[in-house]
Structure 1
């Protein structure tokens, strides 16, 4: 009888009386880091709906307006690997704070911009800051969480914030633009950034520094190789796949990445550890992430135009139209920590990718006479649920088994892959849509474009089925000692990817 009476006492870590002494401080630290992540993701889309107002105010013109988006994308995508490595060497909290300060300064300067050149420069500065801050976000979540269950919940919330934040940004951008000015889509970052910078040192612990000789050649080739590829891809809708600009950008980017690969196998402290890309499951998970993000871009690029141009929604209502996507992600994030150890990463990725393919196949049927509830709400909700299902297991697969000293590099690799996947997705979707478009009409071309997104998701199913292990050796919950060191960089880039659209 006595043994039965004492067992509940020794197995009740969930009870408030048995919480770790630092649980309150840890929860506050996690919340602060997630607020910063939300700000980085919101900035990727909050400006989109304000572009017509910016054009009217500053006189960009159609040729240069896209650089409000592209400047951020290029800086962010090109510097992610460098930002991850800097965090490994100098401490992730320190680099996170430096990046956030640069991002906040860029936001303030952007809101004050009086010319196109000033705004593009400010957006570039924002991208630099985001690239420094983003790779350390989940590393800091990992070190702030008091136990494994808290880490898994933090990972799920990170995925929800990173994915759902993109569509929330559209809603917030529409609201700020309608009731105020496009400048507030940038100014809103300033008080949030200052608050996080003041609070983070009090509630978030610094990670251990991993000193070593810095890989200068690797930093140069990784940065400019990624910049060259992203630059070539974001220009394909305008210049074409066979233009000298596109081919030249690809050639320079691939040459630099080839030099990077040669350098990394010889350098004692490489920018990207070669063993990170020798693991079959990790490479497959990276490919699936790129395909899923590429598929999701049609949701943002095409649906926002459909609801405004065909259904007659205003900027704020168009942003609200994306709430099913965000709510689907946030809802499923509540259960993914429980599903992951039961189903395994492979099963969740297969199910989520397949559901995503169904959602985009459904969207391919929309027409001029449809309504939002009949044609958009259902597939958007399914896409949100599916996206929430796949992101956490993909992240766990990519970061599983990564040594503490290389966690930032792995995080940067994940986000760089996302950036390239997003750029490919935009280029492919826009090209397919343009091929079937009819002047003066928006709906022609939608079917082929959404079917292209469905094909991306279907390709993710194939990759996961062929290359991911049937069951993780340590069921999808990374070992306790690894979780304490591994930086898991999730899907912030999805929001940033919308910039390219």
Structure 2
């Protein structure tokens, strides 16, 4: 690998070479696998519940278990990739992901399935930041813009693809195959990582590894996401929810104090002064609160109101993938001319318009009349926004902090998803229950709840666009090999 790269002329395009394209395909396969696994299980949940005897309340852990450990361990995984070696973390995470996927597919009781999902999330938390940081340090200049655009497009399409594959596999082969499908993909990633990626050994850290900071950050993130996931069941005003949020906040404050005092912290706080990174992470949190909940409510609407089968629901998202691909492709071509700010704002407005249109869904709706056009518009907006955010979050990041930057933007995705689902499902349930108490027919009550939640989701995208308006307008400057001494602030009034 090193010989192939060093033999290329300095001004040449590595992405134009066969090895460069294969490297990008391998890294995109990692994000596809991780993101898809968060969605593929959703349409199989009714079948899993009947086969393993889950209660309605406990069934959520089949989805939430993956989300909690994935989001909770991302900061640790990203920094470990910088310190221990990115390829090494990618291989270890993929191996754990594959083994836990096999355990999930073979599970004959609830505990084994949920335990396997927790382990899957931990594996993904190692894989994702390692792969993204390999991408941002391997490709440079225009290659980097194109690679990030492709990465963003694949990541965005993975959720829709997960719903499609989940429906097909569950209906034709059984629910266990939503986990078994990960095995051949994981094997390809492991083979490619060993044969294609250059070995790296991380870097030594004077003063040792910040173990205390790692414990504080991981505990704080785990507790925060766990509390958000449980909030709709426990109630937002309950002692468990308030206590969980308070303890999580205390842990994160203690983490920040620890990082300020450490000579060699787990998360150097100076990283947030890098141009565009903080605003990109904030935009990601707010935007994905709207996007993730939108997929959730539209899927429920199709199945519980329109009576779609699992397969029909999955196939309904195929045009969304086309929209996402179009948006991310356009973003890739526009970065150098316009910078990231117009791309992110345009994507947010398009997505907000599409989701607002979806908030008008009627009880007697049809796919062609009420879902197809707004889903495609939303998908195009998602592709633009996600590609812009990924580029803004990784531009100008020193190579020795690339894994951390990748972990931060991915953690923003996970935190936004958990936050949106927790808050908006409560909004939908409150509206539906109020109407049911007034003897409104169930389908009408459900639809009204979905409408209200989707309207708030659209407002989230408008807020994300407003944040992006104040963000710096980076054009995806390449990462430098050394940490910046005087990084620019994250806001640019121009």
TM-score by length of 1: 0.88
Structure with more relative contact order (C-alpha pairs < 8 Å, separation 6 or more): 1
User: Does the Cα contact within 8 Å between 1:349 and 1:390 map onto a contact in 2?
Assistant: yes
User: Does the Cα contact within 8 Å between 2:330 and 2:384 map onto a contact in 1?
Assistant: no
From 19, 27, 31, give the equivalent of 2:25.
31
* 1:58 counterpart = 2:52: yes
Q: Find the aligned partners of 2:321 and 2:427 in 1 and give their Cα distance.
A: 26
Equivalence for 1:148: 141
Equivalence for 2:417: 422
Equivalence for 2:477: 478
Per-residue deviation, 1:104: 0.3
Equivalence for 1:96: 90
Deviation larger for 96-105 or 33-42 = 33-42
Q: Find the aligned partners of 2:217 and 2:305 in 1 and give their Cα distance.
A: 42
Equivalence for 2:80: 86
Q: Judging changes above 3 Å, is the alpha-carbon distance between structure 1 residues 21 and 324 closer, same or farther for their aligned structure 2 residues? A: closer
Per-residue deviation, 1:151: 2.4
Equivalence for 1:139: 133
Residues 463-491 of structure 1 show CA distances to partners (whole Å, capped at 9, x for unaligned) of: 222x213x43xxx1313756999xxxxxx
Q: Find the aligned partners of 1:19 and 1:232 in 2 and give their Cα distance.
A: 46
Equivalence for 1:72: 66
Structure 2: runs of 5+ lacking an equivalent: 1-8, 437-441, 485-494
Q: Judging changes above 3 Å, is the alpha-carbon distance between structure 1 residues 403 and 480 closer, same or farther for their aligned structure 2 residues? A: closer
Equivalence for 2:271: 276
* 1:455 counterpart = 2:459: yes
Per-residue deviation, 1:283: 1.9
User: Does the Cα contact within 8 Å between 1:226 and 1:416 map onto a contact in 2?
Assistant: no
Q: Find the aligned partners of 1:360 and 1:279 in 2 and give their Cα distance.
A: 32
**Matched residue of 1:443: which SS?**
helix
Deviation larger for 223-232 or 197-206 = 197-206
**Matched residue of 1:104: which SS?**
helix
* 1:382 counterpart = 2:382: no
User: Does the Cα contact within 8 Å between 2:285 and 2:413 map onto a contact in 1?
Assistant: yes
User: Does the Cα contact within 8 Å between 1:311 and 1:372 map onto a contact in 2?
Assistant: no
Q: Find the aligned partners of 2:482 and 2:195 in 1 and give their Cα distance.
A: 22
Q: Find the aligned partners of 1:129 and 1:252 in 2 and give their Cα distance.
A: 26
Q: Find the aligned partners of 1:20 and 1:66 in 2 and give their Cα distance.
A: 44
Per-residue deviation, 1:337: 1.6
* 1:318 counterpart = 2:341: no
**Matched residue of 1:277: which SS?**
helix
Equivalence for 1:249: 244
Residues 133-158 of structure 1 show CA distances to partners (whole Å, capped at 9, x for unaligned) of: 1111122223444x533322221111
Q: Judging changes above 3 Å, is the alpha-carbon distance between structure 1 residues 335 and 22 closer, same or farther for their aligned structure 2 residues? A: closer
**Matched residue of 1:468: which SS?**
coil
Q: Judging changes above 3 Å, is the alpha-carbon distance between structure 1 residues 20 and 463 closer, same or farther for their aligned structure 2 residues? A: closer
**Matched residue of 1:271: which SS?**
coil
Q: Find the aligned partners of 2:229 and 2:397 in 1 and give their Cα distance.
A: 32
Residues 46-87 of structure 1 show CA distances to partners (whole Å, capped at 9, x for unaligned) of: 111111111111111112111111111111111000000110
* 1:46 counterpart = 2:49: no
User: Does the Cα contact within 8 Å between 1:240 and 1:246 map onto a contact in 2?
Assistant: yes
Q: Find the aligned partners of 1:91 and 1:415 in 2 and give their Cα distance.
A: 19
Equivalence for 2:286: 291
User: Does the Cα contact within 8 Å between 1:160 and 1:329 map onto a contact in 2?
Assistant: yes
Q: How many residues align?
A: 464
User: Does the Cα contact within 8 Å between 1:160 and 1:388 map onto a contact in 2?
Assistant: yes
Deviation larger for 369-378 or 83-92 = 369-378
Q: Find the aligned partners of 1:386 and 1:141 in 2 and give their Cα distance.
A: 24
Q: Judging changes above 3 Å, is the alpha-carbon distance between structure 1 residues 343 and 332 closer, same or farther for their aligned structure 2 residues? A: same
* 1:223 counterpart = 2:222: no
User: Does the Cα contact within 8 Å between 1:140 and 1:205 map onto a contact in 2?
Assistant: no
For residues 169-184 of structure 1, the aligned pairs below 5 Å read: 169-184=162-177
Residues 267-301 of structure 1 show CA distances to partners (whole Å, capped at 9, x for unaligned) of: 12211111123457422221111111011123211
Equivalence for 1:493: none
Residues 84-108 of structure 1 show CA distances to partners (whole Å, capped at 9, x for unaligned) of: 0110111100001000000000000
**Matched residue of 1:335: which SS?**
helix
Q: Judging changes above 3 Å, is the alpha-carbon distance between structure 1 residues 462 and 197 closer, same or farther for their aligned structure 2 residues? A: same
Q: CA RMSD in A?
A: 2.1
Equivalence for 1:443: 447
